Homo-oligomer: A and B are copies of this chain.
Amino acid sequence: MSEIVKRPQTLPEVRPTDVGRLEPVRTQTVTFEGPGETLHLESGQTLHPITVAYETYGELNERRDNAVLVCHALSGDAHAAGYYGLERDEKPGWWDILIGPGKPLDTRKYFVICSNFLGGCKGTTGPSSINPATGKPYGMDFPFYTVKDMVQVQRRLLKHLGVPRLLVVIGGSLGGMQVLQWAISFPEMVRGAIPIASTARLSPQAIAFNEVARQAIMSDPEWNGGDYSLDDQPERGLGLARMIGHITYLSEQAMLRKFSRRYINDQGRSFCLTKDFQVESYLHHQGSSFVRRFDANTYLYITRAMDYFDLEAAYGRISTAFSGCRSSFLVVSFTSDWLFPPDQSRELVQALRRVGLDVSYCNIESDQGHDAFLLPGHRMGDVVSGFLERLARVDAS
């Protein structure tokens, strides 16, 4: 294992006026390249070496029992919180609403870790990484990977960081799938598990949406069987895939509230085939900004890893999957989420209760759809802090 990582400097004592803003953060990497570090994947294939990009916020305490692992969703990355610099126009990490001094995942108390998952395109080895065997990006030569494989790699990262167990593992959507797999794969390591807007397995409808998004990419001639140069992506296909995805991340109500049937032009319809309604313009913007920060092949692989995640198929019954777990669970869903609907969270809760686990459930009122877990304006933060406080009380008593 090559150590190309420096642990972050000890953060200065936080004054009350600093609440809400982390010191500048940075993404670090570690590469697992030792002879015994070949990763054996669920698909039967192997991968070696593996670089992992990650960030940490806060400090691991002496008892090493205050670590929180944050798992990101499809388009996320290791940059979960804070700012790289001090420019005021910079966007913070993707879950900055939840992570920082004085926030629910309070970095004055917890050592928070987030890594780009295996097969991502934000610093961790994935389809857009250079294949050492060819000197070119892996592309379609990258092996298939699953949520279980992602968790194996995160386990290695924790070992590298000297983290023996997790106070909490938390994530939304695909991140929630990783949370569930953590509690199943490493029950002795996970004190608390918080799957948010997630599921034991996607519905066929969600698989169908993933499939049309993949087809959008693979139908783009620039995709070229996955063999494209990274600065010459299948932009139209990837942008279209993101547009399709975005419809499923928003609720019908949120679309009505944000755009209604308003036209871009005040004079009403312009008799043109595209970008006449505000909702169309919004989707195009989402598509074109996405292609600047994401890789098309990676999108194909990750959506497939989501499709294949299925605790029922893997363990016979969902409850059987959890029968070896020891964690306390907080399951969170959002009322208007139709991609990972609340019923799927309820099914999780029932399975967890069936095997006698400690589980809390909160279905949060929101019109923001699946995207709610990334957005402010609802009770998610309070629910998460409450769960963490209860864990602390229970463990102290």
Contact = CB atoms under 8 A, between A and B. Distances in A.
A216 B273 CA distance: 13
A220 B341 CA distance: 33
Given A204-B277, A215-B240, A219-B219, 17 more contacts: A202-B261, A205-B255, A205-B279, A207-B279, A208-B283, A211-B280, A212-B283, A214-B273, A215-B243, A219-B220, A219-B236, A219-B237, A219-B240, A244-B244, A261-B313, A269-B308, A277-B307
- Identical chains in the assembly: 2
18 contacts: A202-B261, A204-B256, A204-B259, A204-B279, A205-B250, A205-B255, A208-B247, A208-B283, A211-B243, A211-B280, A212-B244, A215-B274, A218-B273, A244-B244, A271-B308, A273-B300, A273-B301, A277-B307
How many interface residues does chain A have, given as a range? 35 or more
B255 A208 contact: yes
A132 interface: no
A329 interface: no
Nearest to A256: B204
A221 to B, nearest CB: 6
A211 B255 CA distance: 14
A310 B205 contact: no
A310 B260 CA distance: 12
Interface core residue of A244, A255, A338 (most chain B CB under 10 Å)? A244
A259 B259 CA distance: 34
Interface in A236-285: 236-237, 240, 243-244, 247, 250, 252, 255-256, 259-261, 268-269, 271, 273-274, 276-277, 279-280, 283
The residue in A202, A214, A216 that gathers the most chain B C-beta atoms within 10 A of its C-beta is A216
Contacts of A313: 261, 268
A341 B259 CA distance: 19
A290 interface: no
Of A202, A204, A247, A261, the most chain B CB neighbours within 10 A belong to A204
Contact of A216 (B216, B256, B341): B216
Interface in A298-316: 300-301, 304, 307-308, 310, 313
A361 interface: no
Interface of A: 43, 144, 201-205, 207-209, 211-212, 214-216, 218-221, 236-237, 240, 243-244, 247, 250, 252, 255-256, 259-261, 268-269, 271, 273-274, 276-277, 279-280, 283, 300-301, 304, 307-308, 310, 313, 338, 341
Contacts of A256: 203-204
Contacts of A221: 221
Contact of A209 (B211, B215, B247): B247
A205 B277 contact: no
Contacts of A271: 43, 144, 308
A283 B236 CA distance: 21
B207 A261 contact: yes
Contacts of A204: 252, 255-256, 259-261, 277, 279
